[in-house]
Amino acid sequence: MTIETTQKPRWGELDEEEDTDYNYLLPPKQTIGPDNNGIKKTIEYSFNDEGHKVKKTTTTRVRKLANARLSKKALERRGWSKFGDAVHEDVGARLTMVSTEEIVFERPRAPGTKAEDSSSSDPLAAKSGAVLMVCRTCGKKGDHWTSRCPYKDLAQPSETFVENPTADSAAPGAPGATKGAYVPPTRRDGGVRPTAGADMRRRNDENSVRVNNLSEDTREPDLMELFRPFGSVSRVYVAMDQKTGMSRGFGFVNFVRREDGERAIAKLNGYGYDNLILSVEWAAPRAN
Amino acid sequence: MRPILMKGHERPLTFLKYNKDGDLLFSCAKDHTPTVWFADNGERLGTYRGHNGAVWCCDISRDSSRLITGSADQSAMLWDVKSGKQLFTFNFDSPARSVDFSVGEKMAVITTDPFMGLTSAIHIKDIAANPADQVAESKLVIKGPQGRINRAVWGPLNKTIISAGEDAVVRIWDAETGQLLLENDKEVGHKKPITSLAKSTDGSHFLTGSLDKSAKLWDIRSLTLIKTYVTERPVNAVAMSPLLNHVVLGGGQDASAVTTTDHRAGKFEAKFYDKILQEEIGGVKGHFGPINALAFNPDGRSFSSGGEDGYVRLHHFDPDYFKIPSI
């Protein structure tokens, strides 16, 4: 930021020669900070070519990479001269670099959520016992819970993201054991257990959150990553243009529980994601 | 956090070790030249030239004056840390795999690999205070375990030696007589070769990592299993935080299979587990090859990892890390 002040040195005060250095007329250099946030301000004054006084404020952020507390011995070792290959190190070798990438300490769960959350909150587990253990990541049945999936680090398999699941594909695994007894539709509500195509369809419309203004680069795994911390997500979908294959800029996320969806909306509506501001709302029911 | 990348080695890393004060980091790799770095900014201080084979392991004396390295060139070397000069060379008939100074640095334990008809062995050497008085003879040679002994360390008061290796059994030996004192319970032990072993700071327990995709915490005296940490990757390296109740496991799929799959399938992150709850608490990504070595700074505020990719990555934790709730 530069501010030109109109205040010129008065001609009467100037010497005859043109090249005289007027720097003594300038206020001294000022340094403010660094404050708690590591912001340091340096204010310098100089004359530009036309003899105007220019105030230059430089704001820099000072980042401490490491807190070094050195013992006496260690301090002495700091002064050791280099040896071996380190003596004649090429200037351009750059053996030591600070990563350009910010590496986060990735938590498997959102901070603050309980350990049991992922399994016990799952209505599947509560309702039908141990029989219905379907991994939402890899689709394996009865082997492990989603949170324990050995493939959880991999991207979502694309078949999970069919927009309009047909009746056949929508019921991935209704074990025979649960089929026998009649369950009235009113009782089926809480369970997301896929028993029939129609039921599955309804589930997909329930707790569905529409995300608008996505950037073109956003893919389903990104959305999954964004929304997973709010609770169990049963489906994510990013609308793609069929002709161009480009993202159409909106997508849907279905939550297993409505409260999770509410929290997600409250938190992510207006959230800046990939240089765009997301708008997140309950999806309007499908018209059919 | 922004890790510091140290690209001093041209071959995969094999071992990392901090000195007692935590200001120096020693790295061993398959490229014959152990290297010492400043642990705060990652600047290279020096290299130890003289080995003619992959260097598998190193240990540093408590006062940071001596370094011992074990190498595939069938030797273990003592070095002057400050100048990088060789002080002494122990020659063996097979590659030296693991080295460890005893408390007080009057002795060292060195393991050698099975090679050309020789079985693996654990050698105990006297270490002289003055390198001029150093003798090459082993004080004691222990033989017995089948397959490679990947790691042998001293037990409490230098009375015992704890060894672990390819036969997946943890053994405790008498350091005086060489007698086998304890073997771990087969029921609860590792099912595949043990690749790494790390003692806790107070030396009361230790952690072993194995290719059976788990790490186990053992009592150092009774050899009872305390905890098991199950992961999804073969474990090549383990470390324990000296500050918090955290353990770190590193590993990944075998290096020869890396190019055949998606890089995310390799599971090359360092995984953090709660030591007591045995639960995963986090992961740190970055390497593009399996992690072969892990070490925690003795102050617990930073850790470094060395990978098959030849990089050492030095991580200084963000303040958030220290707020992770624990019991």
Judge whether A263 lies within some domain: yes
Q: Which of A50-64, B1-15, B23-37, B230-244 has the lowest mean pLDDT?
A: A50-64
Residue, of A33 and B229, whose pLDDT is higher = B229
Residue whose entry in the numeric block shows the structure tokens 């190190």: A89
Structure tokens at A64: 């401490």
Q: Which of B13, B20, B23, B320 to mutate to test the interface with A (most CBs of A within 10 A)?
A: B23
Residue in B with minimal Cα distance to A156: B264
Confidence check: pLDDT of B131 > 80 = yes
Judge whether A125 lies within some domain: no
Question: What pLDDT is stored for residue A131 in this prediction?
Answer: 53
Question: What pLDDT is stored for residue B32 in this prediction?
Answer: 93
Judge whether A23 lies within some domain: no
Query: Would you put residue B205 in left (φ > 0), alpha (ψ -120 to 50) or beta?
Result: beta
Residue in B with minimal Cα distance to A72: B21
Q: What is the mean pLDDT of residues A205-230?
A: 85
Question: What pLDDT is stored for residue A129 in this prediction?
Answer: 45
Q: Which of A181-185, B22-26, B70-74, B237-241 has the lowest mean pLDDT?
A: A181-185
User: Of A61, A84, A108, which closes a domain?
Assistant: A61
Q: State the pairing for strand pair B312-316/B13-18.
A: unpaired
Q: What is the mean pLDDT of residues A85-105?
A: 81
Residue, of B214 and A12, whose pLDDT is higher = B214
Per-residue pLDDT tens for B155-174?
999 999 999 999 999 999 99
With CB atoms and an 8 Å threshold, state whether B45 touches A96: no
Confidence check: pLDDT of A40 > 70 = yes
Question: What pLDDT is stored for residue A177 in this prediction?
Answer: 45
With CB atoms and an 8 Å threshold, state whether A82 touches B283: no
Q: Which of B28, B43, B274 to mutate to test the interface with A (most CBs of A within 10 A)?
A: B43
pTM higher than 0.90: no
With CB atoms and an 8 Å threshold, state whether A98 touches B63: no
Question: What pLDDT is stored for residue A189 in this prediction?
Answer: 55
User: Of A11, A45, A61, which closes a domain?
Assistant: A61
Task: Report chain A residues whose CB lies below 8 A from the CB of B265.
Answer: 151, 153-154
What CA–CA distances, in Å, run from B126 to A225, B60, B93, B136? Answer: 56, 16, 19, 8
What CA–CA distances, in Å, run from B30 to A155, B53, B183? Answer: 34, 7, 31
Per-residue pLDDT tens for A135-171?
776 666 666 777 777 666 654 444 444 444 444 443 4
Q: What is the mean pLDDT of residues B267-287?
A: 90
Helix (H) and strand (E) counts in chain B:
0, 28
Cβ(B13)–Cβ(B312) under 8 Å? yes
Residue in B with minimal Cα distance to A68: B40
Q: Which of A76-90, B8-22, B35-49 has the lowest mean pLDDT?
A: A76-90
Question: What pLDDT is stored for residue B324 in this prediction?
Answer: 83
Structure tokens at B6: 């140290």
Residue in B with minimal Cα distance to A80: B82
∠ Cα A58 A61 A63 (to 5°)? 150
Task: Report chain A residues whose CB lies below 8 A from the CB of B45.
Answer: 80, 82-83, 86
Residue in B with minimal Cα distance to A65: B316
Residue, of A60 and B237, whose pLDDT is higher = B237
CATH of the domain at A223: 3.30.70.330
Question: What pLDDT is stored for residue B262 in this prediction?
Answer: 60
Coil/strand/helix, residue B292:
strand
- Tell me which residue of A201, A218, A203, A129 sits closest to A165, measured CA to CA: A201
Query: Cα distance from A63 to chain B (closest Cα, Å)?
Result: 11
Question: What pLDDT is stored for residue B263 in this prediction?
Answer: 57
Coil/strand/helix, residue B265:
helix
Domain of residue A239 covers 206-282
- CB atoms under 10 Å from CB of A10, counted, come to 7
Distance CA A206, CA A278 (A): 21
Per-residue pLDDT tens for A101-120?
888 888 876 555 544 444 44
User: What average pLDDT does the structure give for chain B?
Assistant: 92
Judge whether A218 lies within some domain: yes
Query: Cα distance from A271 to chain B (closest Cα, Å)?
Result: 22
Distance CA B150, CA B166 (A): 7
Peptide bond connecting A34 to the previous residue in cis, omega within 30 degrees of 0: yes
Residue, of B75 and A267, whose pLDDT is higher = B75
Confidence band, pLDDT 50/70/90 cuts, at residue A239: confident
Q: Which of B63, B313, B316 sits opposite A65 (nearest CB)?
A: B316
**Rounded to an integer, what is the distance from CA B311 to the centroid of its chain?**
17
Number of domains in chain A: 2
Judge whether A253 lies within some domain: yes
Q: Which of A47-56, A256-265, B129-138, B198-207 has the lowest mean pLDDT?
A: A47-56
Q: Which of A67, A77, A86 sits opposite B23 (nearest CB)?
A: A77
Q: State the pairing for strand pair B35-38/B24-29.
A: antiparallel
Judge whether A181 lies within some domain: no
Judge whether A269 lies within some domain: yes
Distance CA A281, CA A169 (A): 28
Size of interface A-B (CB pairs under 8 A): 135
Q: Which of B10, B45, B79, B243 to mutate to test the interface with A (most CBs of A within 10 A)?
A: B45
Q: What is the mean pLDDT of residues B31-36?
A: 94
Question: What pLDDT is stored for residue A128 in this prediction?
Answer: 43
Distance CA B275, CA B48 (A): 35
- Tell me which residue of B94, B180, B78, B85 sits closest to B129, measured CA to CA: B78
Judge whether A259 lies within some domain: yes
Structural domains in chain B, CATH included, are 4-323 (2.130.10.10)
Contacts within 8 Å (CB) and 24+ apart, B69-73: B69/B28, B69/B34, B69/B99, B70/B96, B70/B97, B70/B98, B70/B99, B70/B110, B70/B111, B71/B32, B71/B95, B71/B96, B72/B96, B73/B32
Element (H, E) at B142: strand B138-143
Confidence band, pLDDT 50/70/90 cuts, at residue A196: very low
Per-residue pLDDT tens for B87-116?
999 999 999 999 999 999 999 999 999 988
Question: What pLDDT is stored for residue A228 in this prediction?
Answer: 86
Confidence check: pLDDT of B31 > 60 = yes
